[in-house]
Amino acid sequence: MPTPARLHVAHALHEVFGEKGRVPDIWDRDLGEDAHLAQALLGLCLRRWGRLQAWVKPKLKDPARGVPLGTQVALAMGLVQLAWLPGVSDHAAVNEAVELAATRDLGFVPHKGLVNAILRRAAKDRAGLAAELEALPAALDRTPATERALKAALAPHGAEAGLEELWARLQQPPRPSFRVLTGEPPEGLEPDADLPGCFRLAEEAPFPRPWLEAAQGMVQDRSSQALLAYSWDRPVARILDACAAPGGKTTTLALRHPGAELTALEVHPRRVARLRQTLQQRGLSAQVIQADAAEWLERSDTAFDLILLDAPCSGSGTLQKHPEWPWLVHDDLPRLTGLQRRLLTAAADRLAPGGLLIYAVCSWLPEEGAAHRDWLAEARPGLQPAAVWPADRGAPADAEGGRTAFFRPHPLRWEGEGFQAFAVARAAR
């Protein structure tokens, strides 16, 4: 029987390539010390999937026919360990992959011998295997949806030539960023020189799990932190976080505007529970409502001084953290952009005089960000762009007097998730 770490990785790969589903956030929860190996193994399988399959193909009896997913998974896991995980012995890499191939629901039993033969041969020269795999074109690991997302990230900055550089950066597992909620940061976190209040995990430092579990700090991506560092000095009495779970940004809003009345909406019941739990653990209060934000806003007669609409989106900006993103089916963009437009319209219409609305998506695709901004400028001329971020957080064309109303950091110069956010304000009466 393969080790639990390898079984978890195999399950995750079947979820992505068989079901076209995301890797669940807590997929490695019960793995203890083996979580490190499992994370590295899964990350490399997903990030190098295209080249792994391309390397195997000519070694098959019938390359055109290919092999079942169970065989692909066993081979990919074995090859990754042999090529890039030097701490794993030949014996463990090969035998466990063969056992996996022989596992009924995860492997493909008739291909046990094939997996054994290919991996045994590869194990004879692990450095040579790594060199062969590295020499294959990086584009094999991308899909058309990925190419489109990368081009969309670079285009506003006139940096289209940097596609390979951006892709190479996104292949590195992200270095986590944190925010302190109470007290001092633990050892191993160092201040981010470019982003006040943000802390990064130092090289080789242990992940600060006990500190996070004690709700003294939270994980928050640099881009989310930077976009919530908007400059705004008008009074804020009522805040709406329209799409709030799991509550990272709700937390920041509550801490930034402690005297304000905060309403947090979320449509999915399980995520509402998570949001409530997050706020409770952090000792923060908000009125949490389970509702479709568009419907709720369309019925509401409350006007808000600050609205954050962190809308559901394709997540194309998160492919460094979610290396499965390239391999998922992305056919629901029309539904998402329709929902985003409806949420944006409803939110804009509940903005109080003198109020600020921030629309955000963790996506580079123009139809999820720039297009909505342009549409809103036409459809709601009473709202004016609000330049609440430093100009270098946006594209050069969006800068006005050292500031910008359109947050979309340069993907090659900014370490953080890909985001588009724009801010508009209603004139005070």
Q: Which is nearer to ligand SAM, 114 or 243 (CB)?
A: 243
Q: Which is nearer to ligand SAM, 94 or 294 (CB)?
A: 294
Q: Which residues form the catalytic set?
A: 362
Q: Which is nearer to ligand SAM, 312 or 385 (CB)?
A: 312
Residue 292 assigned to a binding site: yes
What is the size of the binding site for ligand SAM (CB under 6 A)? 17
**Residue 195, burial from CB neighbour count under 10 angstroms (0-12, 13-18, 19+):** middle
In angstroms, what is the minimal distance from the CB of 177 to ligand SAM? 13
Site string for ligand SAM, 268-307 (x = CB under 6 A): x--x--------------------xxx-------------
Q: Which is nearer to ligand SAM, 115 or 227 (CB)?
A: 227
According to the binding rule CB under 6 A, does residue 267 interact with ligand SAM? yes
Select from 246, 354, 385, 390 the one that contacts ligand SAM (CB under 6 A): 246
Query: Residue 399: enclosing H or E segment and its boundaries?
Result: strand 399-400
Select from 5, 245, 336, 348 the one that contacts ligand SAM (CB under 6 A): 245
- Whether the Cβ atoms of residue 163 and residue 154 lie closer than 8 Å to each other: yes
In angstroms, what is the minimal distance from the CB of 310 to ligand SAM? 4
* Alpha carbon distances (Å) from 179 to 137, 146, 186: 38, 30, 11
In angstroms, what is the minimal distance from the CB of 265 to ligand SAM? 5
In angstroms, what is the minimal distance from the CB of 230 to ligand SAM? 14
- Whether the Cβ atoms of residue 226 and residue 408 lie closer than 8 Å to each other: no
CA neighbor of 8 nearest in space, from 88, 96, 85: 96
In angstroms, what is the minimal distance from the CB of 150 to ligand SAM? 21
Enter the DSSP assignment of 174.
P
- Whether the Cβ atoms of residue 216 and residue 170 lie closer than 8 Å to each other: no
Beta bridge partners of 199: 178, 191
The CB density around residue 202, as the number of other CB atoms within 10 Å, is 12
Residue 310 assigned to a binding site: yes
Q: Which is nearer to ligand SAM, 297 or 395 (CB)?
A: 297
d(CA 371, CA 306): 22
Residue 301 — φ and ψ, nearest 5°? Answer: -115, 15
Residue 299 — φ and ψ, nearest 5°? Answer: -90, -20
Q: Which residue is nearest to ligand SAM (CB)?
A: 243
In angstroms, what is the minimal distance from the CB of 247 to ligand SAM? 5
Torsion on CA atoms 63, 69, 74, 75, rounded to nearest 10:
20
Select from 249, 257, 330, 350 the one that contacts ligand SAM (CB under 6 A): 249
Of 43-51, 76-84, 232-240, 247-255, which part binds ligand SAM (CB under 6 A)?
A: 247-255
Residue 223 — φ and ψ, nearest 5°? Answer: -65, -40
Residue 107 assigned to a binding site: no
* Alpha carbon distances (Å) from 326 to 141, 176, 362, 367: 8, 21, 15, 18
Q: Which residues are annotated as a binding site?
A: 243-249, 266, 292, 310
Site residues for ligand SAM per CB under 6 A: 243-249, 265-268, 271, 292-294, 310, 312
Q: Which residues are annotated as a binding site for S-adenosyl-L-methionine?
A: 243-249, 266, 292, 310
